Amino acid sequence: MSGHEFKDAYDVVVVGAGAAGLAAAAEIARAGLDTLLVDENAGPGGQIYRAITTTPVRKREILGDEFWNGAALVDEVRSSGASVTQTATVWSLDADLMLGISWGGRSRNVSARRVVVATGAMERPFPIPGWILPGVMTAGAVQTLLKSSGLLPAGRTVVAGTGPLLWLLSAQILRAGGAIDAILDTTPRGSLTRALPYASGFLLSPLFAKGLALRSEVMRKVRVVRHVTELVAAGGDKLETVTFATRQGAKATLPADALLLHQGVVPNTMLAMAAGVAHRWDERQLCWSPVLDQDGRSSIEGIFVAGDGAGIAGALAAELRGRLAGLAVVRDLRPGYESSETQSIRQKLQREERARPFLDVMFQPPREMRAPADDTIVCRCEEVTAGEVRKAARLGCAGPNQLKAFLRTGMGPCQGRLCGLTLTELLAEANGVAPGEVGHLRVRPPVKPISLSELAEMPVSEAATKAVVRG
């Protein structure tokens, strides 16, 4: 939708039009509540269903059924009565349920009686030497280029890391006619043994068969090096080579124009943290997840978190969580409204989540690629190395917020998105305490920068100056 004018207030604002946000908005709007779904991208779909309505990729098998399934969700929202606004950036959310939204170069405050944060996942930081070089990108970035623009890497391409998405992307590149020189699998030795205790849930899941098929599809066509360590990207003004150590300890170097990195995804917690939602350290997923009840209700009254932003569980689980949060919002605001579905959605969600523990443990990235060696840059914006962080820890720096004053880590434009988890793990390791005790970077709004002019010209609505009544 374009040319959209925002109202000062809605019953519900849903942030993010991925699987969870689409499902939540559909459930809520269908119940007759005034619902705004805002999303930062050009079209709905989030990351998994990115460009679902516009992709120029015509051959359906390239992206696979899991991708095309997203179309039904978009249709569902379109017939639900929700207002949908794309290319709108939510740069602030607070405990008053006041949002700051930028659209079309202008910002405004919008208030809501309930907010569903469905901001999804982002790829886990992958700090290796040389990861700042042009030519080094995330696997997800290349998947985005393929889905939105029909672009494929053209030069010598190396894929490195661990996790299901690594194999999915590789398969998609190959199906589209692209080439991959090598896959450097960083899954550490012993991962399978560690994951076996969780295998029963996984073996029953359809993900098991799909995962195996994907893997063998790729391995037939590409050289795969397993148990890779000491991954290094090198080059002058751009990537030239990728060096790594093999299981036998031998060093090898590949010439490369593109290195596609991936070691799993983690919740994108920026907006929820900015609002003050309590988070806890997830020992298995090695990331921060919001503290939620079974419907996605957070520690801040009126704010729900749904989808992978609530903890990584994949697209189908995200959709189900979106529905549960949506139905809970409806129960809050329409006390008489009955839905018989809640129980069956919960059961489906449990089945989806059953496969997770195995995947989490199996593809837990190795420590050396989460808390890297001293000379590796961990904060890309301010170019701070792991060694500098460790040194600050030795000087008595206990947490990432204290670190900011000394090293400016997390104070650049990305606001710690690409260093936050690394800082927590580095400080935990250096100080010999649990990551959960070290804490996370305090997220300050705006979670995306806005120009001074845009703020200066922001209309201040009546609603924005009054305390918002909820209930």
Partner 1 sequence: MFKRLPDCPATAVILTVDGRAIEAREGDSVAAALLAAGFAQTRQSAVSQSPRAPYCMMGVCFECMVTVDGVANRQGCMVPVREGMRIETLRGRREISA
Partner 2 sequence: MAAESADVVVIGAGIHGCSTALHLALRGASVIVIEKDHAGRHASGVNAGGVRQLARHVAEIPLSIASMEIWERIGDLVDDDCGFECHGQVLVAETEAELEEFGVRVADLQRRGFTHEELIDKAELQRVLPAVAETCPGGIISRRDGAAQPYRTTQAFRRAASRHGVRFLEGVRVTGLARSGRAWRIGTTSGDFLAPKVVNAAGAWAGRFAAMIGEPVPLEVIAPMLMITSRVERFIDPVVILRSRKLSFKQFPNGTVLIGGGHLGRAFPEANRTILDWGKLQESARTVWELFPVMREAAIVRAWAGIEARMRDDIPVVGPSHKAEGIFHQFGFSAHGFQLGPGTGAVMAELLTTGRTNVPLQALDIGRFAGHSRAVV
> Which residues bind to partner 1, rule: CB under 8 A?
40-42, 47, 51, 54-59, 87, 89, 105, 122-123, 132-138, 140-142, 144-145, 148-155, 176-177, 237-238, 257-258, 268, 380-383, 412-414, 417-418, 448-449, 451
Phi-psi region of 452 (alpha: psi -120 to 50; beta: other; left: phi over 0): alpha
Binding of residue 415 to partner 2 (CB under 8 A): yes
Q: Of these partners, partner 1, partner 2, none, which one is at the site of residue 154 (CB under 5 to 8 Å by kind)?
A: partner 1
Q: Choose among partner 2, partner 1, none what residue 284 binds, the Cβ cut-off being 5 to 8 Å by kind.
A: none
Nearer to partner 1 by C-beta: 66 or 257?
257
Q: Which is nearer to partner 1, 155 or 197 (CB)?
A: 155
Q: Is the distance from CB of 66 to CB of 207 less than 8 angstroms?
A: no
Amino acid at 186: T
Token pair belonging to 17: 């039009």
Q: Taking CB within 5 to 8 Å according to partner kind, which of partner 2, partner 1, none is near residue 276?
A: partner 2
Residues 8, 110 contacting (CB under 8 angstroms): yes
The residue among 118, 107, 93, 40 whose CA lies nearest residue 468 is 93
Site for partner 2 in 257-276 (CB under 8 A): 276
The secondary structure of residue 427, as a DSSP letter, is H
Q: Which of the residues 434 through 453 are near partner 2 (CB under 8 A)?
A: 444-446, 449-453
Closest separation between CB of residue 122 and partner 1, Å?
Answer: 5
Smallest distance from partner 1 to CB 226, Å: 26
Given partner 1, partner 2, none, residue 176, with its beta carbon under 5 to 8 Å by kind, binds: partner 1
Q: Which stretch binds partner 2 (CB under 8 A): 57-65, 186-194, 236-244, 459-467?
A: 459-467
Cα separation of 38 and 410, whole Å? 26
Rounded CA gap, 386 and 110, in Å?
40
397-403: list long-range contacts, CB under 8 Å, 24+ apart: 397/427, 398/427, 398/431, 398/438, 399/427, 399/438, 399/439, 400/424, 400/427, 400/438, 400/439, 400/440, 400/441, 401/439, 401/441, 401/442, 403/427
* CA-based nearest residue to 420, from 121, 125, 92: 125
Report H helices in 31-118.
60-63, 65-68, 70-78
Residue 99 Cβ, how far from partner 2 at the closest point, in Å? 10
Report the alpha-carbon distance of residue 384 to residue 352 in Å, rounded.
39
Helix H segments across 334-431? 342-353, 356-362, 386-394, 400-407, 420-431
Pick 456 or 469: Cβ nearer partner 1: 456
Total Cβ atoms within 10 A of residue 460: 9
Q: Of 86 and 424, which CB lies nearer to partner 1 in the complex structure? A: 86
Nearest-approach distance from CB 470 to partner 1, in angstroms: 30
Q: Is 80 in the site for partner 2 (CB under 8 A)?
A: no
Q: Which stretch binds partner 2 (CB under 8 A): 33-41, 205-213, 262-270, 406-414?
A: 406-414
Complex with partner 1: residue 133 or 398, whichever CB lies closer: 133
Identified binder of partner 2 from the candidate list 227, 390, 391, 408, rule CB under 8 A: 408
455 binds, among partner 1, partner 2, none (CB under 5 to 8 A by kind): partner 2
Lay out the site mask for partner 2 across 90-129 (x = CB under 8 A, - = otherwise).
Answer: --x-xxx-x-x--------x--------------------
| β pairing state of 9-15 and 35-38 | parallel
Assigned token pair, 103: 């659209």
Count the residues of the shown chain that bind partner 2, applying the rule CB under 8 A: 33
Contact residues toward partner 2 (CB under 8 A) are: 92, 94-96, 98, 100, 109, 276, 396, 398, 402, 404-406, 408, 411-413, 415, 444-446, 449-453, 455-456, 458, 460, 464-465
